[in-house]
Amino acid sequence: MILPLPIKFHSRIHILFGNPANTLAKFIFFLLFALTSSMYAQIDINKDYLPEIHGTIRAKYEYEPPIDKGRFEIRNARLSVEGKVRPIVLYKAEIDLSDEGKIKMLDAYVRIRPKDWKFTVGQMRVPFTIDAHRSPHLQFFANRSFIAKQVGNVRDVGASVSWTSRWPTPVTFEGGIFNGSGLTDQKDFWTNNYNFSFKAEAFIAKHLNITFSCQKANAEDVNVMMWEVGTYWQTSRWHIEGEYMRKNYVHNSFTPVNAVDAFAAYCLPLKKVSSISFLGRYDYMSNHSNGNKDAEGKLKIDDPERHRLTGGITLRLGTAKLQSDIRLNYEQYFYKKGVLPSISEQNKIVLELVAHF
């Protein structure tokens, strides 16, 4: 969706985004933006510079047989504004009004894009892994893999640069340096211990992707180094993907974490609706720590080791720009004997409705 932006509105954007922690202001920004944009629909502005508004809403119901309880949840209610102010100068701002009930500022950056290069400064998802980089409407399953959710999901403030080759086999190299402050702790955050990341991905014969990435990050006050390798093969009907990740904690302060994500999806085109997909996934993670410590000052286990099998069916309506999915998944978890799993990390049935515009 493309809507015009009144000239005087630029100052409002600056005021509302001046304080990253002001979530109420961010909500008001998007509300005012949507209202005032429609009022100025007749302004004669170069269409190449009109901002685009996109959104994704995911609403779902989950039922867990082990506890015989269920819940309704708004998993995401994202809105984004993006566009360009010059042919090579782009911008994006994205907010989630309900990330499991919380308001979060996600992306806010300026990008310079001359030919095959991209220079980005601001708040963004750190270039790392395959699955963690998927937007909610592009996910294959209702719930993300362990790699994308627990182990390798990082957004931060910093700068990145990427270059895509024009070789017969396109290869993209991307690297960045980041504060390590996360999304909200920016105002008084100063550091000489920056985080960094690097990602390289190649597309072979238009169907095969091979990705390697590494990242230095932090779990609270503990430095970690993560390594990832993944690949997927995609045709008009099949998507087969596998990814492995290892997470090392500095000074062996916690046992290194291993995580695996492997799945396949078969898409069957239909006449009256866009398609129906049949999916199966296996993922695994060993004991994982977020950096929290016990009474002795040692890192403790926040996510116990588990395996998971997921089966699902997705009914897709519409196109990529105006998309709606109905996802039905069943997740079977496997823990070691004696482990008490989190209330939300158990066997479950998930019915999710997704709308993207």
pLDDT (tens, 9 = 90+) of the chain, 357 residues, equals 444 444 444 444 444 444 544 555 555 555 555 555 544 544 556 778 889 999 999 999 999 999 999 999 999 999 999 999 999 999 999 999 988 888 888 999 999 999 899 999 999 999 999 998 899 999 999 999 999 998 888 889 999 999 999 888 899 999 999 998 877 777 788 989 999 999 999 999 889 999 999 999 988 889 999 999 999 999 999 999 999 999 999 999 999 999 999 999 999 999 878 999 999 999 999 999 999 999 988 999 999 999 999 999 999 998 778 899 999 999 999 999 999 999 999 999 999 999 999
φ/ψ (deg, to 5) at 119? -115, 120
Domains of the chain by residue range: 1-50, 51-356
Can you say whether the dihedral through the CA atoms of 200, 220, 109, 42 is positive or negative?
positive
Whole-number Å distance between alpha carbons of 26 and 17: 7
Average pLDDT, the chain: 88
Q: Which two tokens stand for residue 33?
A: 């933006």
Whole-number Å distance between alpha carbons of 224 and 251: 10
**Which CATH architecture is the domain 51-356 placed in?**
Beta Barrel (2.40)
SS (H, E, C) the chain: CECCCCCCHHHHHHHHHCCCCCHHHHHHHHHHHHHHHHHCCCCCCCHHHCCEEEEEEEEEEEEECCCCEEEEEEEEEEEEEEEEEECCEEEEEEEEEEECCEEEEEEEEEEECCCCEEEEEEEEECCCCCHHHCCHHHCCCCCCCHHHHHHCCCEEEEEEEEEECCCCCCEEEEEEEECCCCCCCCCCCCCCCCEEEEEEEEEECCCEEEEEEEEEEEECCEEEEEEEEEEEEECCCEEEEEEEEEEEEHHHCCCCEEEEEEEEEEEEECCCCCEEEEEEEEEEECCECCCCECCCCCECCCECCEEEEEEEEEEEEECCCCEEEEEEEEEEEEECCCCCCCCCCCCEEEEEEEEEC
Is the distance from CB of 88 to CB of 72 less than 8 angstroms?
no
